[in-house]
Amino acid sequence: MNRVSRPTAKWRIIIADDESLIRLDLREMLTHIGYDVVAEAGDGRTAIDLAKNLRPDLLIMDIKMPDLDGIAAAEELTRERIAPVVLLTAYSDQALVERARQAGVVGYVVKPFREAELMPVIELSRARFDEFRTLEREVGSLKDALETRKVVERAKGVLMESRGMRESEAFHRIRKASMDARKSMKEVAEAILLAHDMELSLSTSGDEVGEDQESLS
């Protein structure tokens, strides 16, 4: 008999989607895996009002909603430091993804979603939100934190790929290097990216030299 995994904490979640059936499915799935759905909304403005009153641990919102879409709602919630936002989306438009990143969105669930996909996204999104708050405390402003986050996310990706680290390990490595070297996390992340680019450049140059030698032999 398969055991259902449970979240590390019983987080309080608000869900927002203009389709009642989507909300019903999402509520049932989240409740089944151990989360507490404290409210539902059919539009972005209502979701924001509920979040301000209830102070949930997380909001899961559709990217396309009446009155105020999920990205605009996420921007306001991030700006006012209320709660992290995970977007429900059936879209892969790069412009939407970039707009969502600028708004502070920390995770995505692609429709049609499955129960097994929800917990990993939620757990990771909360961790990313905590990282973002750390960056904001370091740099002192939301705008600078969003800019720093871009660079740090890329550097985390490099460490995860080249060193086999988990995302949380990569973030802590960057943060520790920042404290040890007395440099900002953005400076450390930029140094990691520069070193990675140089390694790629040297590797490419070596391959080209090898090919030239083979052509001459």
Q: How confident is the model over 158-196, as pLDDT tens digits?
A: 888 888 888 878 888 888 888 888 888 888 888 988 888
Q: Give the global pTM.
A: 0.65
Share of the chain above pLDDT 70, in %: 87
Longest Cα–Cα distance in the chain: 75
Number of domains in the chain: 2
Residue-level pLDDT at 216: 44
Beta bridge partners of 107: 86
Flag whether pLDDT at 70 surpasses 80: yes
Is the dihedral angle over the CA atoms 67, 70, 72, 73 positive or is it negative? positive
Residue-level pLDDT at 199: 83
Domain boundaries, position 62: 1-139
- Out of 139, 169, 197, pick the residue that ends a domain: 139
Burial (CB count <10 Å: 0-12, 13-18, 19+), residue 155: buried
- Out of 139, 163, 191, pick the residue that ends a domain: 139
Most confident of 50-59, 138-147, 164-173: 50-59
Q: Show Cβ contacts of residue 26 under 8 Å, excluding neighbours closer than 6 positions.
A: 15, 17, 37, 60, 88, 113
- Note whether 18 and 84 are same-domain residues: yes
Are 119 and 31 in contact, with CB atoms under 8 Å apart?
Answer: no
Average pLDDT over every residue of 84-107: 77
- Note whether 98 and 26 are same-domain residues: yes
CATH number at 177 reads 1.10.10.10
